[in-house]
Structure 1
Amino acid sequence: MGSGGKGRQSLEGRGKTLPASDRPWHKAYEGEDLPQRTQWKQEKERRAAAAEGRAPKAGGYVPGKTSDGKPFKKSAAVKNTGGKARAGANRAVGRGGPARPRGGPRVAPGRRSIPSKDSPELLVGRNPVVEALRAHVPVTALYVAQGIEVDERVNEAIRTAGDRGIAILEVSRNELDRLTGGVLHQGIGVQVPPFAYESFEDMVAASLETPFPLLVALDGVTDPRNLGAVLRSAAAFGAQGIFVPERRAATVTASAWRTSAGAAARIPVAQVVNLTRAIRQAQQAGFVVAGLDADAEMSIYDLEVADGPLIVVVGSEGRGLSRLVGEACDLKVGIPMVSDIESLNASVAAAVTLAEVARRRNA
């Protein structure tokens, strides 16, 4: 079906492409009335050319001369290196500015920098702030926006912070928006310090000194709330520590602090580069490793090795244990369920297993 002539103009095309010297928005434009944006582009090209020791590529310059009108002389470094020095200068200058130091935070105009893992974190929202203070999360500062509507939660947060000697900072809403990156904060937030992780070797050695060594490993758990819930269960059932991979895994953030209800301050957490290697290292130290698997033939109620040094490995809720981690486990156990539910949440499965281990040890 035709368009009835309505699409006729779209088939006509836009004509020939103008050369760069005739486009007012291009840095090579040579007209008299330069737009301010074009002037900025040409000046930027001049500065870059001066830093690299070359003539500007295009736009408002005299051929054979630099931006200050002096004769242009090609540097010996550029002559003798076949352009390698020029390439290095291009990398150093980039788009007219200094190169960003390798490993430093990435800063974008109009956006806040990406925080490093050692930088403090803000936990925002009235309910989360009150819950964090009730759970004795080690808060270092309380931020309150100016002119917010005060209710019971805000009063409790300010009173609790004052009683514990926590710094209370009154800031503008714009400043709080900047600190939180635009997240809905309800006019209040707390600053949580970076979590201090334990050495894995020290965790294993300290666990073996207890009467009933018990550790928990998380494989592929990416939700910090699940990590916080496992921390709470591990502390409740006598585990001496938790270790997680450094990459593609949840870390102890403010959300994990709040979910753990303060247990993150009582139980050590270690980060390992390779989870499989860490499991084999613990096996050499005398631990038996039991991985939770929904398809395992052995039930947790038949876990007779629970009386000795034990590591319980919990996989992600979606895919379970990874292949290499599953092969590294000494045995796999499952949680028998009455209904046809495929699997439990990772933190719930960890709590059920740890409760059974505690029951066997206390029997």
Structure 2
Amino acid sequence: MSNHRPANKKGPKVGSGGVRRRRLEGRGPTPKAEDREYHVAHAKKKAREAEEKRQEAIKLARAGGKLPAYLKLEAGHELISGRNPVLEAVRAGVPLTRVFMVPGGTVDGRMEEAARTAAGRGAPVVEVSRGHLDTMTEKAAHQGIAIEVPPYDYTDIDTVVSDIAEADKTGLILALDSITDPHNLGAV
């Protein structure tokens, strides 16, 4: 005899409506023990990560945590770091005080040209450790080279407006505020 009821009889219909099948599907793969917050392995992973972070801080402090006096920038001076930005600043004739280079790193034509041109203009080339340059640039991607530049001498708005009025061409004044990403400035 069959367990199925005929369609014209009262009572529940045959089957579970997929409830049992969905129950068997499960919830996917079991996470690794170290990814489960309640597991002992997770606590060990967190402790290991904290120790690695502490060791990295110690390594950075030994490499250049405190800067020697000869590496400190003059008041108001800034650093331009990275191969292309440094080379473009040197090519454009931006006044500079010193060139900082990491010895023994990958030196390419851009770095050589920047250092040679800056030295030709009287700026000393100072060899620094990677840790010191990391500290000086606040861990920016310096690529082993940076230049110290004096504060930029800004022109006041009255001078800009009078220069535009005296010119034969139509002028454009663009006022920007709080732009920190150079790509955004370049896009403008």
Instruction: Name the TM-score, length of structure 1 as normaliser.
Output: 0.28
Shift of 1:143: 0.4
RMSD (CA atoms)? 2.9
Shift of 1:122: 1.3
> Which runs of 5 or more residues in structure 1 are unaligned?
1-6, 8-109, 113-117, 230-344, 348-363
CA distance in 1, matches of 2:88, 2:97: 15
CA distance in 1, matches of 2:130, 2:141: 11
Shift of 1:219: 5.0
Q: Which of residues 149, 152, 156 is equivalent to 2:113?
A: 156
Task: Tell me whether 1:218 sits opposite 2:172 in the alignment.
Answer: no
Identify the residue that residue 104 of structure 2 maps to in structure 1. Answer: 147
Q: Which of residues 74, 78, 87 is equivalent to 1:130?
A: 87
Shift of 1:137: 2.5
Where is the helix percentage greater, Structure 1 or Structure 2?
2
User: Once the two structures are superposed, what CA deviation does each residue of 1:29-70 show, in whole Å capped at 9, x if it has no partner?
Assistant: xxxxxxxxxxxxxxxxxxxxxxxxxxxxxxxxxxxxxxxxxx
Q: Which of residues 181, 186, 190 is equivalent to 2:143?
A: 186
Written as runs of structure 1 = structure 2, the 5 A alignment for 1:187-336 is: 187-212=144-169, 214-218=171-175, 222=179, 223-227=181-185, 229=186
CA distance in 1, matches of 2:109, 2:163: 43
Identify the residue that residue 169 of structure 1 maps to in structure 2. Answer: 126
Classify 1:213/1:187 alpha carbon distance in 2 versus 1 (closer, same or farther; 3 Å): same
User: Once the two structures are superposed, what CA deviation does each residue of 1:191-247 show, in whole Å capped at 9, x if it has no partner?
Assistant: 2222211111222223323334513223567244454x4xxxxxxxxxxxxxxxxxx
CA distance in 2, matches of 1:181, 1:221: 19
> In structure 2, what residue type is equivalent to 1:152?
G
Written as runs of structure 1 = structure 2, the 5 A alignment for 1:1-150 is: 119-150=76-107
CA distance in 2, matches of 1:171, 1:198: 34
User: Once the two structures are superposed, what CA deviation does each residue of 1:147-192 show, in whole Å capped at 9, x if it has no partner?
Assistant: 3233322222221112221221112222212111122222111122
The number of residue pairs the alignment matches comes to 117
* Structure with higher RCO (Cα < 8 A, 6+ apart): 2
* Pair member with larger Rg: 2
- Corresponding residue SS for 1:154: helix
Shift of 1:138: 2.4
> In structure 2, what residue type is equivalent to 1:206?
D
Identify the residue that residue 54 of structure 2 maps to in structure 1. Answer: none
- Corresponding residue SS for 2:133: helix
CA distance in 1, matches of 2:106, 2:182: 30
- Corresponding residue SS for 1:174: helix
CA distance in 1, matches of 2:131, 2:108: 21
Identify the residue that residue 13 of structure 2 maps to in structure 1. Answer: none
Shift of 1:141: 1.5
Shift of 1:146: 3.1
Where is the strand percentage greater, Structure 1 or Structure 2?
1
CA distance in 1, matches of 2:166, 2:138: 45
Classify 1:128/1:207 alpha carbon distance in 2 versus 1 (closer, same or farther; 3 Å): closer
> In structure 2, what residue type is equivalent to 1:180?
T
User: Once the two structures are superposed, what CA deviation does each residue of 1:74-118 show, in whole Å capped at 9, x if it has no partner?
Assistant: xxxxxxxxxxxxxxxxxxxxxxxxxxxxxxxxxxxx799xxxxx7
Identify the residue that residue 62 of structure 1 maps to in structure 2. Answer: none
Classify 1:208/1:175 alpha carbon distance in 2 versus 1 (closer, same or farther; 3 Å): same
Instruction: Name the TM-score, length of structure 2 as normaliser.
Output: 0.51
Shift of 1:142: 0.7
